[in-house]
């Protein structure tokens, strides 16, 4: 039983380290792109 708990604890620590590493090193920002959309002003007048 002690082996299983130790293995679960080790996996939890490794998972936390991996999550923190991904948060700091993972680049998930989208590529910037220009969007243009025509707008009609006073269309009903």
Pure H helices in 1-45: 2-25
Classify 26 in phi/psi space as left (phi over 0), alpha (psi -120 to 50) or beta. beta
Q: What angle do CA 18, 5, 15 make, to 5 degrees?
A: 5
pLDDT at 45: 62
pLDDT tens profile 1-45: 899 999 999 999 999 999 999 988 887 788 899 999 998 888 766
> Left if phi > 0, otherwise alpha if psi is -120 to 50, otherwise beta: which for 5?
alpha
């Amino acid at each position: 039983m002690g082996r299983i708990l130790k293995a679960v604890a080790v996996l939890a620590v490794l998972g936390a380290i991996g999550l923190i590493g991904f948060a700091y090193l993972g680049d998930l920002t989208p590529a910037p792109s220009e969007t243009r959309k025509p707008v009609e002003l006073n269309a009903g007048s």
